[in-house]
């Protein structure tokens, strides 16, 4: 009988067969492999984004038989990081040929690589591999620098005045803490605290900061700077915004003439229009005469001012003719596609004083004023002549009255003038004669009633007698007749006789 073979003399394949048998036995557990240990010594590892992350894992025995894998996270949602098949190209084994060292390297780490990593040992079974032993886990944190900041301005250009908002953004950084500073031409601006998102815990974050800036015309040369500081940065990150990209300064318009108005008739006048202090550079000037555009203006190229704004000038030369008097010349500017702005000047013509004896043909109202003066003068002259005539007539009437009163005779003769006067008794109808004779009697005697002698209806003669004609002038009594021209009207009743005691008679006959 042969002695049993010693283990040393057993075939080489026997230990392997034994290991396979043990691995296939479902009841085999950790107690069956007391010498097996899975070592994952790193509790926490910090790495900067872009660097290589090394995660250590080693086995103390070859049994049980089965693969070793790396996972990120835990539970059913864990993510496979390394396996013999299906690994990420960024993940490699540090010692590929080793059966006990399963250290891995993650190249070019990213913020999303942060998390808890576990090395897991599997053993083969009749079906799928079973998890045999898991490491304690390594917490990985990735410090990520913020991305280069970006500054955005308003959607359209803004004019000087109210504040305009500018926003600075950056992202992809970790840890969460970050600082944002705003500078205008190197001077710090007050700004609210930046907003960091997300607000909950995350592997990476983003930041947004907004500042309000009041623009001025001089900001055509100004710069706005957003400065970001983070623990991962050796120096702050800056982003610069040129305020001229958000600025619009409307032009200031001025119109003048050389020489200054008013000007002499037919003199050459140059109108000058200046659009000053505008930004951006694109602007155009045009001339209008009484609302109609003219192409006679000449514009010079825009000139840059010390503060970065521009000035544009245009001139228009015209002749101060009679037809252009009171014409309105308008300078129109169109800037940065905005509605046009206008400024106007009126061409006024100065006129010399009119020569004596000549009318002033000025169409601007001065000639009309002269005509009115002439009318007033003519009316005044006519009125003065009428006044003189009235005074002369009154004077002549008074003179005649005085002559009649001072005559010693009571007989008035006013015959009508004719080339050949006829005798008084030849045609009684042509006579204009009145004769009044009164007897001067003693007051004690009773006076007889005056006798009125009437002529025929066609006669202009009247005679009033009180008795026999007196022989001397001492017996005459005065009689006054005004406007002694008897009418040829029909016969009228005889006037009532005066009282006997009267020594005065007055007869007034109005001429029709």
pLDDT, greater one: 20 or 189: 189
Alpha carbons 418 and 384: distance in angstroms, whole number? 35
Q: Is 129 helix (H, G, I), strand (E, B) or coil?
A: coil
For residue 15, what pLDDT is reported? 38
Q: Indicate whether 21 pLDDT > 50.
A: no
CA distances from 281 to 222, 245, 297 (A): 16, 12, 20
For residue 510, what pLDDT is reported? 53
pLDDT digits (tens, 9 = 90+) for 48-90: 988 999 999 999 998 889 999 999 998 888 999 999 887 888 9
pLDDT, greater one: 84 or 46: 46
For residue 34, what pLDDT is reported? 83
- Angle at the Cα of 86 from the Cα atoms of 85 and 92, rounded to 5 degrees: 80
The answer to whether 169 and 208 are in contact (CB under 8 A) is: yes
Quickly list DSSP for 57-89: -EES--PSP--EEEEES-GGG-EEEE-SSS--T
Q: Name 378's Cβ contacts closer than 8 Å, sequence gap at least 6.
A: none
pLDDT digits (tens, 9 = 90+) for 440-481: 444 444 444 444 444 444 444 444 444 454 444 444 444 444
Mean per-residue pLDDT over the chain, rounded: 78
Q: Indicate whether 283 pLDDT > 50.
A: yes
pLDDT classification of 319: cutoffs 50, 70, 90: very high
Is the torsion defined by CA of 394, 399, 400, 401 positive or negative? positive
Q: For the purposes of burial, counting CB atoms within 10 Å of the CB of 219, is it exposed (0-12), middle (13-18) or buried (19 or more)?
A: buried
Q: What is the CA radius of gyration of the chain?
A: 68
Q: For the purposes of burial, counting CB atoms within 10 Å of the CB of 395, is it exposed (0-12), middle (13-18) or buried (19 or more)?
A: exposed
For residue 189, what pLDDT is reported? 96
Q: What percent of the chain clears pLDDT 70, i.e. is strictly above it?
A: 69
Q: What percent of the chain clears pLDDT 90, i.e. is strictly above it?
A: 55
For residues 80-108, give the mean pLDDT. 91
Cis, peptide link before residue 230, omega less than 30° from 0: no
For residues 301-324, give the mean pLDDT. 94
Per the listing, tokens 């555009």 go with: 293
Q: Is 373 helix (H, G, I), strand (E, B) or coil?
A: helix
Q: Indicate whether 274 pLDDT > 50.
A: yes
For residue 508, what pLDDT is reported? 53
Q: Indicate whether 101 pLDDT > 90.
A: yes
For residue 41, what pLDDT is reported? 95
pLDDT digits (tens, 9 = 90+) for 197-248: 999 988 889 999 999 999 999 999 999 999 999 999 999 999 999 999 999 9
For residues 394-399, give the mean pLDDT. 89
Per the listing, tokens 């500042």 go with: 211
For residue 483, what pLDDT is reported? 46
Alpha carbons 451 and 469: distance in angstroms, whole number? 13
Q: Indicate whether 493 pLDDT > 70.
A: no
For residue 251, what pLDDT is reported? 96
Strand order in the sheet with 223-229: 187-189, 179-184, 223-229, 237-242
The beta-carbon contacts of 485-493 under 8 Å, at least 24 apart in sequence, are: 485/414, 485/432, 485/460, 485/509, 485/511, 486/432, 486/434, 486/459, 486/460, 486/461, 486/462, 487/460, 487/511, 487/512, 488/429, 488/457, 488/458, 488/460, 490/457, 491/454, 491/457
Q: Lowest-confidence range among 15-24, 42-51, 262-271, 341-350?
A: 15-24
Q: What tokens does 261 get?
A: 């108005």
For residue 398, what pLDDT is reported? 86
pLDDT digits (tens, 9 = 90+) for 131-178: 999 999 999 999 999 999 999 999 999 999 999 999 999 998 999 999
Q: Name 114's Cβ contacts closer than 8 Å, sequence gap at least 6.
A: 140, 141, 142, 174, 203
């Amino acid at each position: 009988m042969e002695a049993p073979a010693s283990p040393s003399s057993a075939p080489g394949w026997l230990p392997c067969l034994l290991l396979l048998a043990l691995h296939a036995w479902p009841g085999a557990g950790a107690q069956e492999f007391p010498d097996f240990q899975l070592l994952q010594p790193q509790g926490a590892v910090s790495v900067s984004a872009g660097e290589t992350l090394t995660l250590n894992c080693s086995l103390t025995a070859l049994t049980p038989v089965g693969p070793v894998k790396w996972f990120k996270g835990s539970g059913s949602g864990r993510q496979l990081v390394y396996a013999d098949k299906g690994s990420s190209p960024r993940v490699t084994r540090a010692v590929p040929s080793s059966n006990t060292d399963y250290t891995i390297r993650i190249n070019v780490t990213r913020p999303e690589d942060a998390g808890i990593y576990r090395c897991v040992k599997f053993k083969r079974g009749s079906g799928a591999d079973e998890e045999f032993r898991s490491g304690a886990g390594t917490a990985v944190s990735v410090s990520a620098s913020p991305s280069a900041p970006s500054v955005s301005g308003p959607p359209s250009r803004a004019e000087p005045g109210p504040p305009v908002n500018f926003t600075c953004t950056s992202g992809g950084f970790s840890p969460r803490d970050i600082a944002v500073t705003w500078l205008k031409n190197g001077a710090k601006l007050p700004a609210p605290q930046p907003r960091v998102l997300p607000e909950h815990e995350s592997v990476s974050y983003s930041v947004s900061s907004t500042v309000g800036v009041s623009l001025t015309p001089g900001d055509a040369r100004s710069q706005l700077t957003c400065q970001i500081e983070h623990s991962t940065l050796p120096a702050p990150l800056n982003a610069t915004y040129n305020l001229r990209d958000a600025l619009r300064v409307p032009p200031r318009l001025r119109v003048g003439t050389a020489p200054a108005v008013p000007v002499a008739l037919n003199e050459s006048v140059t109108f000058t229009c200046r659009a000053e202090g505008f930004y951006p550079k694109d602007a155009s000037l045009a001339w209008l005469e009484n609302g109609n555009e003219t192409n006679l203006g000449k514009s010079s190229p825009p000139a840059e001012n010390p503060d970065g704004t521009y000035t544009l000038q245009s001139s228009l030369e015209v002749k101060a003719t009679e037809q252009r008097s009171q014409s309105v010349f308008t300078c129109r500017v169109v800037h940065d596609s905005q509605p046009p702005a206008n400024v106007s000047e009126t061409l006024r013509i100065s006129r010399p004083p009119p020569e004596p004896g000549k009318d002033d043909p000025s169409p601007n109202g001065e000639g009309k004023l002269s005509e009115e003066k002439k009318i007033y003068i003519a009316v005044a002259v006519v009125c003065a002549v009428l006044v003189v005539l009235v005074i002369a007539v009154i004077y002549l009437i008074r003179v005649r009255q005085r002559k009649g009163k001072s005559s010693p005779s009571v007989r008035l003769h006013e015959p009508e003038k004719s080339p050949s006067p006829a005798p008084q008794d030849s045609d009684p109808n042509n006579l204009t004669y009145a004769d009044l004779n009164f007897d001067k009697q003693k007051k004690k005697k009773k006076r007889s009633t005056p006798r009125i002698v009437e002529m025929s209806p066609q006669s202009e003669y009247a005679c009033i007698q009180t008795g026999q004609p007196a022989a001397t002038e001492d017996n005459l009594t005065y009689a006054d007749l005004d406007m002694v021209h008897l009418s040829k009207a029909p016969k009228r009743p005889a006037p009532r006789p005066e009282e006997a005691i009267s020594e005065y008679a007055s007869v007034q006959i109005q001429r029709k």
